[in-house]
Amino acid sequence: MRIFKFGGASVKDADGIKNVFSVLEKVGHEDTLLVISAMGKTTNALELVIKNYFEKSNELHSSLQEVKKYHYQILMDLFEDEEHDVYFAVNSLFADLEYFIRSNKSPNYNFVYDQVVSFGELISTTIVSHYFAQAGLKNNWIDVRNFIKTDNTYRDANVDWEKTQQLIAKGVKKKALNITQGFLGSDENNFTTTLGREGSDYTAAIFAYCLNAESVTIWKDVPGVMNADPRYFENAILLNQISYREAIELAFYGATVIHPKTLQPLQRKEIPLHVKSFINPLLPGTSVSKGKDLEPQTPCYIVKRDQLLISLSSIDFSFIMEENISEIFALFHQYKMKVSLIQNSAISFSVCVEDKFGNFNDLKNILAKKFKVAYNENVSLYTIRHFNKEAAEMVEKGKTVLLKQISRETLQVVTKE
Protein backbone atom coordinates (compact mmCIF):
# COMPACT_ATOMS: atom_id res chain seq x y z
CA MET A 1 0.00 0.00 0.00
CA ARG A 2 1.10 3.58 -0.66
CA ILE A 3 0.39 6.42 1.73
CA PHE A 4 -0.23 9.89 0.30
CA LYS A 5 -0.51 12.98 2.45
CA PHE A 6 -2.19 16.11 1.12
CA GLY A 7 -1.79 19.15 3.35
CA GLY A 8 -3.90 22.25 3.84
CA ALA A 9 -2.36 24.11 0.91
CA SER A 10 -3.34 21.37 -1.55
CA VAL A 11 -7.04 21.46 -0.61
CA LYS A 12 -7.45 25.16 0.08
CA ASP A 13 -10.23 25.67 -2.47
CA ALA A 14 -12.37 23.85 -5.04
CA ASP A 15 -9.63 24.00 -7.68
CA GLY A 16 -7.18 22.54 -5.18
CA ILE A 17 -9.47 19.57 -4.55
CA LYS A 18 -9.97 19.09 -8.30
CA ASN A 19 -6.20 19.15 -8.64
CA VAL A 20 -5.79 16.43 -5.99
CA PHE A 21 -8.20 14.34 -8.06
CA SER A 22 -6.10 14.92 -11.16
CA VAL A 23 -2.91 14.02 -9.28
CA LEU A 24 -4.50 10.66 -8.43
CA GLU A 25 -5.54 10.14 -12.04
CA LYS A 26 -1.92 10.67 -13.07
CA VAL A 27 -0.17 8.62 -10.41
CA GLY A 28 -2.83 5.99 -9.68
CA HIS A 29 -5.06 5.40 -6.69
CA GLU A 30 -5.25 1.67 -6.11
CA ASP A 31 -4.16 0.29 -2.78
CA THR A 32 -3.60 3.82 -1.52
CA LEU A 33 -4.43 5.60 1.70
CA LEU A 34 -4.84 9.37 1.62
CA VAL A 35 -4.19 11.39 4.74
CA ILE A 36 -5.73 14.83 4.37
CA SER A 37 -5.40 17.97 6.50
CA ALA A 38 -7.90 20.70 7.20
CA MET A 39 -8.48 23.01 4.23
CA GLY A 40 -6.16 26.01 3.85
CA LYS A 41 -5.81 27.88 7.11
CA THR A 42 -8.84 26.28 8.80
CA THR A 43 -6.88 25.15 11.87
CA ASN A 44 -5.82 28.75 12.53
CA ALA A 45 -9.41 29.91 12.03
CA LEU A 46 -10.64 27.33 14.54
CA GLU A 47 -7.92 28.38 16.97
CA LEU A 48 -9.49 31.83 16.86
CA VAL A 49 -12.92 30.33 17.61
CA ILE A 50 -11.42 28.61 20.67
CA LYS A 51 -9.77 31.81 21.83
CA ASN A 52 -13.05 33.70 21.48
CA TYR A 53 -14.85 30.92 23.32
CA PHE A 54 -12.52 31.10 26.30
CA GLU A 55 -12.47 34.88 26.35
CA LYS A 56 -16.27 34.89 26.09
CA SER A 57 -15.81 37.30 23.22
CA ASN A 58 -18.65 38.74 21.14
CA GLU A 59 -16.68 37.62 18.13
CA LEU A 60 -17.28 33.94 18.86
CA HIS A 61 -20.28 33.68 16.57
CA SER A 62 -18.70 35.60 13.69
CA SER A 63 -15.44 33.66 13.88
CA LEU A 64 -17.38 30.42 13.57
CA GLN A 65 -19.43 31.86 10.72
CA GLU A 66 -16.19 32.57 8.86
CA VAL A 67 -15.22 28.91 9.04
CA LYS A 68 -18.66 27.90 7.80
CA LYS A 69 -18.73 30.44 4.98
CA TYR A 70 -15.35 29.28 3.73
CA HIS A 71 -16.39 25.62 3.59
CA TYR A 72 -19.85 26.27 2.12
CA GLN A 73 -18.25 28.29 -0.68
CA ILE A 74 -16.05 25.30 -1.52
CA LEU A 75 -19.10 23.01 -1.35
CA MET A 76 -21.06 25.22 -3.74
CA ASP A 77 -18.13 25.30 -6.15
CA LEU A 78 -17.90 21.51 -6.14
CA PHE A 79 -21.49 20.29 -5.88
CA GLU A 80 -24.23 21.91 -7.95
CA ASP A 81 -26.99 19.78 -6.54
CA GLU A 82 -28.00 21.39 -3.28
CA GLU A 83 -29.65 18.15 -2.25
CA HIS A 84 -26.37 16.27 -2.48
CA ASP A 85 -25.63 14.12 0.60
CA VAL A 86 -22.44 16.06 1.25
CA TYR A 87 -24.47 19.09 2.40
CA PHE A 88 -26.22 16.90 4.93
CA ALA A 89 -22.91 15.44 6.13
CA VAL A 90 -21.19 18.82 6.52
CA ASN A 91 -24.26 20.42 8.15
CA SER A 92 -24.26 17.64 10.64
CA LEU A 93 -20.54 18.12 11.45
CA PHE A 94 -21.07 21.84 12.02
CA ALA A 95 -24.09 21.03 14.18
CA ASP A 96 -21.91 18.72 16.28
CA LEU A 97 -19.29 21.45 16.62
CA GLU A 98 -21.88 24.01 17.69
CA TYR A 99 -23.40 21.58 20.12
CA PHE A 100 -20.00 20.99 21.68
CA ILE A 101 -19.36 24.72 22.03
CA ARG A 102 -22.80 25.27 23.58
CA SER A 103 -22.72 22.42 26.03
CA ASN A 104 -19.07 22.01 27.00
CA LYS A 105 -18.37 22.31 30.71
CA SER A 106 -14.66 21.51 30.71
CA PRO A 107 -12.36 24.41 31.58
CA ASN A 108 -9.39 22.47 30.18
CA TYR A 109 -8.12 24.60 27.29
CA ASN A 110 -6.13 21.83 25.64
CA PHE A 111 -9.02 19.39 25.82
CA VAL A 112 -11.44 21.89 24.30
CA TYR A 113 -8.86 22.79 21.65
CA ASP A 114 -8.67 19.23 20.37
CA GLN A 115 -12.43 18.69 20.38
CA VAL A 116 -12.86 21.85 18.30
CA VAL A 117 -9.91 21.94 15.84
CA SER A 118 -10.54 18.33 14.83
CA PHE A 119 -13.60 19.46 12.86
CA GLY A 120 -11.23 20.99 10.29
CA GLU A 121 -9.97 17.58 9.26
CA LEU A 122 -13.34 15.83 9.64
CA ILE A 123 -14.99 18.35 7.32
CA SER A 124 -12.20 18.44 4.73
CA THR A 125 -12.05 14.66 4.35
CA THR A 126 -15.84 14.47 4.14
CA ILE A 127 -15.87 16.99 1.30
CA VAL A 128 -12.99 15.36 -0.59
CA SER A 129 -14.44 11.88 -0.21
CA HIS A 130 -17.85 12.95 -1.57
CA TYR A 131 -16.25 14.91 -4.39
CA PHE A 132 -14.20 11.91 -5.51
CA ALA A 133 -17.29 9.70 -5.38
CA GLN A 134 -19.21 12.23 -7.47
CA ALA A 135 -16.35 12.25 -9.98
CA GLY A 136 -16.58 8.45 -10.22
CA LEU A 137 -13.72 7.54 -7.91
CA LYS A 138 -14.93 5.06 -5.32
CA ASN A 139 -13.30 5.52 -1.95
CA ASN A 140 -13.56 4.51 1.63
CA TRP A 141 -13.78 7.35 4.23
CA ILE A 142 -12.39 6.31 7.56
CA ASP A 143 -12.46 8.03 10.92
CA VAL A 144 -8.84 8.06 12.01
CA ARG A 145 -9.90 8.24 15.65
CA ASN A 146 -10.91 4.59 15.42
CA PHE A 147 -7.35 3.69 14.44
CA ILE A 148 -4.81 6.01 16.04
CA LYS A 149 -5.00 5.62 19.81
CA THR A 150 -3.09 8.01 22.04
CA ASP A 151 -2.72 9.09 25.64
CA ASN A 152 -4.69 12.10 26.81
CA THR A 153 -1.97 14.74 26.39
CA TYR A 154 -4.32 17.00 24.47
CA ARG A 155 -2.66 19.10 21.72
CA ASP A 156 0.47 16.97 21.82
CA ALA A 157 -0.73 13.41 22.23
CA ASN A 158 1.59 10.40 22.30
CA VAL A 159 0.69 7.43 20.15
CA ASP A 160 -0.08 4.09 21.77
CA TRP A 161 1.76 2.10 19.14
CA GLU A 162 0.59 -1.33 20.23
CA LYS A 163 -3.13 -0.55 20.09
CA THR A 164 -2.73 1.56 16.96
CA GLN A 165 -0.81 -1.18 15.17
CA GLN A 166 -3.51 -3.74 15.95
CA LEU A 167 -6.38 -1.53 14.87
CA ILE A 168 -4.73 -0.41 11.63
CA ALA A 169 -3.52 -3.87 10.63
CA LYS A 170 -7.00 -5.32 11.23
CA GLY A 171 -9.23 -2.52 10.01
CA VAL A 172 -7.74 -0.77 6.99
CA LYS A 173 -9.08 -2.10 3.69
CA LYS A 174 -6.27 -3.19 1.37
CA LYS A 175 -6.40 -2.64 -2.41
CA ALA A 176 -8.97 0.14 -2.02
CA LEU A 177 -8.61 3.92 -2.00
CA ASN A 178 -8.95 4.99 1.63
CA ILE A 179 -9.34 8.58 2.82
CA THR A 180 -8.65 9.65 6.36
CA GLN A 181 -7.80 12.66 8.53
CA GLY A 182 -4.34 13.77 9.46
CA PHE A 183 -3.36 15.17 12.87
CA LEU A 184 -6.10 13.43 14.93
CA GLY A 185 -6.28 10.50 17.28
CA SER A 186 -8.37 9.50 20.26
CA ASP A 187 -7.69 8.64 23.86
CA GLU A 188 -8.85 5.76 26.02
CA ASN A 189 -12.22 7.42 26.58
CA ASN A 190 -12.60 8.09 22.87
CA PHE A 191 -12.15 11.83 23.24
CA THR A 192 -10.42 13.40 20.28
CA THR A 193 -6.72 14.19 20.62
CA THR A 194 -4.29 15.92 18.25
CA LEU A 195 -0.66 15.13 17.52
CA GLY A 196 0.72 18.68 17.49
CA ARG A 197 0.41 21.39 14.85
CA GLU A 198 1.36 20.29 11.36
CA GLY A 199 1.02 16.71 12.57
CA SER A 200 -0.57 15.25 9.43
CA ASP A 201 2.80 14.23 7.98
CA TYR A 202 3.28 12.21 11.14
CA THR A 203 -0.13 10.54 10.66
CA ALA A 204 1.03 9.39 7.23
CA ALA A 205 4.15 7.88 8.82
CA ILE A 206 2.09 6.11 11.51
CA PHE A 207 -0.09 4.42 8.89
CA ALA A 208 2.95 3.55 6.79
CA TYR A 209 4.68 1.96 9.75
CA CYS A 210 1.65 -0.07 10.82
CA LEU A 211 0.82 -1.20 7.29
CA ASN A 212 4.41 -1.84 6.20
CA ALA A 213 3.65 0.49 3.33
CA GLU A 214 5.79 0.49 0.21
CA SER A 215 6.22 4.28 0.38
CA VAL A 216 4.91 7.59 1.71
CA THR A 217 4.47 10.62 -0.50
CA ILE A 218 3.78 14.04 0.95
CA TRP A 219 2.44 16.37 -1.72
CA LYS A 220 3.50 19.99 -1.36
CA ASP A 221 3.30 23.39 -3.03
CA VAL A 222 7.08 23.24 -3.56
CA PRO A 223 9.07 20.89 -5.85
CA GLY A 224 10.39 18.89 -2.89
CA VAL A 225 12.84 19.42 -0.03
CA MET A 226 15.02 22.36 -1.01
CA ASN A 227 18.22 23.67 0.52
CA ALA A 228 16.17 26.51 2.02
CA ASP A 229 12.58 27.65 2.37
CA PRO A 230 11.92 29.25 -1.02
CA ARG A 231 9.62 31.79 0.65
CA TYR A 232 12.59 33.37 2.40
CA PHE A 233 15.63 32.46 0.30
CA GLU A 234 15.91 33.35 -3.34
CA ASN A 235 17.67 30.73 -5.47
CA ALA A 236 16.75 27.79 -3.25
CA ILE A 237 17.58 24.55 -5.01
CA LEU A 238 15.94 21.13 -4.94
CA LEU A 239 17.67 18.28 -3.07
CA ASN A 240 16.97 15.23 -5.23
CA GLN A 241 17.93 12.60 -2.69
CA ILE A 242 18.72 12.80 0.99
CA SER A 243 19.19 10.29 3.77
CA TYR A 244 16.76 9.82 6.66
CA ARG A 245 19.49 11.19 8.86
CA GLU A 246 19.79 14.41 6.87
CA ALA A 247 16.01 14.81 6.68
CA ILE A 248 15.70 14.34 10.45
CA GLU A 249 18.38 16.95 11.02
CA LEU A 250 16.73 19.45 8.65
CA ALA A 251 13.27 18.88 10.16
CA PHE A 252 14.63 19.06 13.70
CA TYR A 253 16.30 22.40 13.04
CA GLY A 254 13.04 23.71 11.64
CA ALA A 255 12.69 22.97 7.92
CA THR A 256 8.90 22.96 8.09
CA VAL A 257 8.48 21.07 4.84
CA ILE A 258 8.54 17.81 6.85
CA HIS A 259 7.20 17.42 10.39
CA PRO A 260 10.12 16.22 12.54
CA LYS A 261 8.25 13.24 14.00
CA THR A 262 7.62 11.80 10.53
CA LEU A 263 11.03 10.39 9.83
CA GLN A 264 11.69 8.04 12.72
CA PRO A 265 8.91 5.49 12.07
CA LEU A 266 9.79 5.45 8.37
CA GLN A 267 13.48 5.06 8.98
CA ARG A 268 12.88 2.14 11.34
CA LYS A 269 11.20 0.15 8.59
CA GLU A 270 13.20 1.70 5.76
CA ILE A 271 10.04 2.95 4.08
CA PRO A 272 11.00 5.53 1.45
CA LEU A 273 9.56 9.03 1.76
CA HIS A 274 8.90 11.11 -1.33
CA VAL A 275 8.27 14.83 -1.13
CA LYS A 276 6.64 15.94 -4.36
CA SER A 277 4.86 18.84 -5.98
CA PHE A 278 1.09 18.62 -6.28
CA ILE A 279 1.43 21.10 -9.13
CA ASN A 280 3.84 18.93 -11.15
CA PRO A 281 3.10 15.44 -9.83
CA LEU A 282 5.14 13.62 -12.46
CA LEU A 283 8.39 15.30 -11.48
CA PRO A 284 10.54 13.18 -9.16
CA GLY A 285 10.73 15.63 -6.21
CA THR A 286 12.89 14.54 -3.29
CA SER A 287 13.45 10.95 -2.18
CA VAL A 288 14.37 10.32 1.41
CA SER A 289 15.92 6.92 2.01
CA LYS A 290 18.77 5.06 3.67
CA GLY A 291 22.30 5.89 2.64
CA LYS A 292 25.35 7.64 4.03
CA ASP A 293 26.32 9.04 0.66
CA LEU A 294 23.18 11.12 0.30
CA GLU A 295 24.39 14.22 2.08
CA PRO A 296 23.67 17.45 0.22
CA GLN A 297 26.73 18.98 -1.40
CA THR A 298 25.42 22.47 -0.81
CA PRO A 299 24.73 24.52 2.34
CA CYS A 300 21.16 24.10 3.68
CA TYR A 301 19.57 27.07 5.44
CA ILE A 302 16.86 26.89 8.08
CA VAL A 303 15.28 29.80 9.93
CA LYS A 304 13.20 29.58 13.07
CA ARG A 305 11.59 32.88 13.93
CA ASP A 306 9.95 33.98 17.16
CA GLN A 307 12.42 32.21 19.38
CA LEU A 308 13.39 33.13 22.90
CA LEU A 309 17.00 33.35 23.96
CA ILE A 310 17.22 32.75 27.69
CA SER A 311 20.42 33.12 29.70
CA LEU A 312 20.57 31.84 33.23
CA SER A 313 23.46 32.62 35.53
CA SER A 314 24.03 31.71 39.12
CA ILE A 315 23.15 34.44 41.58
CA ASP A 316 26.27 33.91 43.71
CA PHE A 317 28.87 33.14 41.03
CA SER A 318 28.72 29.43 41.81
CA PHE A 319 29.09 27.04 38.88
CA ILE A 320 26.13 25.84 36.92
CA MET A 321 26.57 22.12 37.45
CA GLU A 322 24.91 18.97 36.20
CA GLU A 323 22.20 19.04 38.84
CA ASN A 324 21.22 22.60 37.88
CA ILE A 325 21.17 21.66 34.24
CA SER A 326 19.01 18.62 34.79
CA GLU A 327 16.63 20.68 36.91
CA ILE A 328 16.44 23.37 34.23
CA PHE A 329 15.70 20.79 31.54
CA ALA A 330 13.04 19.14 33.65
CA LEU A 331 11.37 22.56 33.88
CA PHE A 332 11.59 23.16 30.12
CA HIS A 333 10.02 19.79 29.59
CA GLN A 334 7.30 20.43 32.15
CA TYR A 335 6.48 23.81 30.58
CA LYS A 336 6.56 22.34 27.07
CA MET A 337 9.28 24.60 25.78
CA LYS A 338 11.22 23.07 22.93
CA VAL A 339 14.94 23.66 23.19
CA SER A 340 16.69 24.23 19.88
CA LEU A 341 20.16 25.29 21.02
CA ILE A 342 22.22 25.05 24.20
CA GLN A 343 25.40 26.79 25.24
CA ASN A 344 26.98 26.85 28.65
CA SER A 345 29.95 28.31 30.45
CA ALA A 346 31.06 28.04 34.07
CA ILE A 347 28.47 30.30 35.59
CA SER A 348 25.96 30.82 32.83
CA PHE A 349 23.76 28.72 30.65
CA SER A 350 21.98 29.90 27.48
CA VAL A 351 19.24 28.24 25.54
CA CYS A 352 17.24 29.16 22.51
CA VAL A 353 13.70 27.87 22.96
CA GLU A 354 10.33 27.98 21.35
CA ASP A 355 7.43 28.88 23.61
CA LYS A 356 4.62 27.36 21.56
CA PHE A 357 2.19 27.19 24.43
CA GLY A 358 2.86 30.64 25.94
CA ASN A 359 4.30 29.30 29.20
CA PHE A 360 7.44 31.44 29.53
CA ASN A 361 6.00 33.92 32.00
CA ASP A 362 5.17 31.21 34.50
CA LEU A 363 8.47 29.46 33.98
CA LYS A 364 10.42 32.70 34.33
CA ASN A 365 9.09 33.23 37.84
CA ILE A 366 10.18 29.78 38.89
CA LEU A 367 13.64 30.12 37.35
CA ALA A 368 14.11 33.55 38.95
CA LYS A 369 13.99 31.96 42.40
CA LYS A 370 17.32 30.24 41.71
CA PHE A 371 19.02 32.05 38.85
CA LYS A 372 19.53 35.45 37.38
CA VAL A 373 17.36 35.32 34.27
CA ALA A 374 18.07 37.44 31.19
CA TYR A 375 16.22 36.98 27.92
CA ASN A 376 15.63 38.31 24.42
CA GLU A 377 12.27 37.81 22.82
CA ASN A 378 11.53 37.52 19.09
CA VAL A 379 14.96 36.40 18.05
CA SER A 380 15.66 34.26 14.99
CA LEU A 381 17.67 31.09 14.96
CA TYR A 382 19.51 30.43 11.71
CA THR A 383 20.94 27.00 11.14
CA ILE A 384 23.22 26.17 8.24
CA ARG A 385 23.94 22.51 7.62
CA HIS A 386 27.08 21.88 5.54
CA PHE A 387 28.05 25.50 5.97
CA ASN A 388 30.87 27.34 4.33
CA LYS A 389 32.32 30.82 4.81
CA GLU A 390 30.08 32.58 2.26
CA ALA A 391 26.96 30.96 3.68
CA ALA A 392 27.85 32.09 7.19
CA GLU A 393 28.57 35.64 6.04
CA MET A 394 25.32 35.84 4.14
CA VAL A 395 23.24 34.84 7.16
CA GLU A 396 24.93 37.25 9.54
CA LYS A 397 24.92 40.23 7.20
CA GLY A 398 23.08 43.24 8.62
CA LYS A 399 22.01 41.46 11.81
CA THR A 400 23.07 41.59 15.44
CA VAL A 401 24.48 38.21 16.38
CA LEU A 402 23.57 37.29 19.95
CA LEU A 403 25.02 33.82 20.01
CA LYS A 404 26.86 31.51 17.65
CA GLN A 405 27.68 27.83 17.74
CA ILE A 406 29.72 25.78 15.32
CA SER A 407 30.03 22.03 15.01
CA ARG A 408 31.54 19.99 12.19
CA GLU A 409 28.48 20.04 9.94
CA THR A 410 26.32 22.73 11.45
CA LEU A 411 26.55 26.43 12.18
CA GLN A 412 23.86 28.06 14.31
CA VAL A 413 23.42 31.77 14.86
CA VAL A 414 20.87 33.52 17.04
CA THR A 415 20.15 36.99 15.69
CA LYS A 416 18.08 40.03 16.40
CA GLU A 417 16.99 41.66 13.13
Could you list the residues that contact ligand ADP (CB under 6 A)? 7-10, 37, 198, 220-222, 225-226, 228-231, 255-257
Query: Would you state the torsion angle of the CA atoms of residues 369, 370, 371, 377, taken in this order, to the nearest 10 degrees?
Result: -50
Pair type for strands 184-186 and 192-194: antiparallel
CB 335 within 8 A of CB 363: yes
* Stretch touching ligand ASP by CB under 6 A, among 105-113, 193-201, 213-221, 318-326: 193-201
> What is the smallest separation between the CB atom of 235 and ligand ADP, expressed in angstroms?
13
Name the residue with the smallest CB distance to ligand ADP. Answer: 7
CB 391 within 8 A of CB 299: yes
| Binding-site member from 182, 185, 260, 285 for ligand ASP (CB under 6 A) | 182
Residue closer to ligand ASP by CB (options 113, 387) is: 113
Residue closer to ligand ASP by CB (options 182, 296) is: 182
**Kind and range of the H or E run holding 81:** none
For residue 260, the tally of other CB atoms under 10 A from its CB is 21
Residue closer to Mg ion by CB (options 161, 252) is: 252
Residue closer to ligand ASP by CB (options 70, 382) is: 70
222 binding partner (options ligand ASP, Mg ion, ligand ADP, none; Cβ < 5 to 8 Å by kind)? ligand ADP
CB 284 within 8 A of CB 225: no
Tell me if residue 178 falls in helix, strand or coil.
strand
Residue closer to ligand ADP by CB (options 38, 210) is: 38
> Could you say whether residue 16 binds ligand ASP (CB under 6 A)?
no
> What is the smallest separation between the CB atom of 238 and ligand ADP, expressed in angstroms?
8
255 binding partner (options ligand ASP, ligand ADP, Mg ion, none; Cβ < 5 to 8 Å by kind)? ligand ADP
**Please, which of residues 114-173 interact with ligand ASP by CB under 6 A?**
120
> What is the smallest separation between the CB atom of 13 and ligand ASP, expressed in angstroms?
16
120 binding partner (options ligand ASP, Mg ion, ligand ADP, none; Cβ < 5 to 8 Å by kind)? ligand ASP
**Please, which of residues 1-40 interact with Mg ion by CB under 5 A?**
7
257 binding partner (options Mg ion, ligand ADP, ligand ASP, none; Cβ < 5 to 8 Å by kind)? ligand ADP
- Per DSSP, the chain holds a count of helices (H) and strands (E) of 12, 16
Q: In what order do the strands lie in the sheet with 241-243?
A: 140-141, 177-181, 32-36, 2-6, 215-220, 273-277, 286-289, 241-243
> What is the smallest separation between the CB atom of 148 and ligand ASP, expressed in angstroms?
13
Query: Would you state the torsion angle of the CA atoms of residues 157, 161, 163, 165, taken in this order, to the nearest 10 degrees?
Result: 130
Residue closer to ligand ASP by CB (options 245, 356) is: 356
Which residue type is seen at 408? R
Residue closer to ligand ASP by CB (options 149, 261) is: 261
CB 113 within 8 A of CB 195: no
Please provide residue 129's backbone torsions phi and psi, each rounded to the nearest 5 degrees: -60, -45
> What is the smallest separation between the CB atom of 285 and Mg ion, expressed in angstroms?
17
Residue closer to ligand ADP by CB (options 258, 271) is: 258
> What is the smallest separation between the CB atom of 198 and Mg ion, expressed in angstroms?
5
Residues 6+ apart with CB under 8 A from 91: none
> Could you say whether residue 38 binds ligand ASP (CB under 6 A)?
yes
Rounded distance, CA 103 to CA 115, Å? 12
Rounded distance, CA 370 to CA 161, Å? 39
Cβ burial of 241 (10 Å; 0-12, 13-18, 19+) is middle
| Binding-site member from 121, 198, 246, 355 for Mg ion (CB under 5 A) | 198
Rounded distance, CA 366 to CA 74, Å? 48
**Please, which of residues 319-378 interact with ligand ASP by CB under 6 A?**
none
Rounded distance, CA 225 to CA 256, Å? 10
CB 121 within 8 A of CB 184: yes
> Could you say whether residue 198 binds ligand ASP (CB under 6 A)?
yes
CB 77 within 8 A of CB 69: no
Residue closer to ligand ADP by CB (options 112, 128) is: 128
183 binding partner (options ligand ASP, Mg ion, ligand ADP, none; Cβ < 5 to 8 Å by kind)? ligand ASP
The DSSP letter of residue 369 is T
| Binding-site member from 16, 40, 185, 199 for ligand ASP (CB under 6 A) | 199
Q: 161: closest CA among 169, 172, 170, 150?
A: 150
Q: Could you list the residues that contact ligand ASP (CB under 6 A)?
A: 7-8, 37-38, 43, 120, 182-183, 197-200
Residues within the interface to Mg ion (CB under 5 A):
7, 198
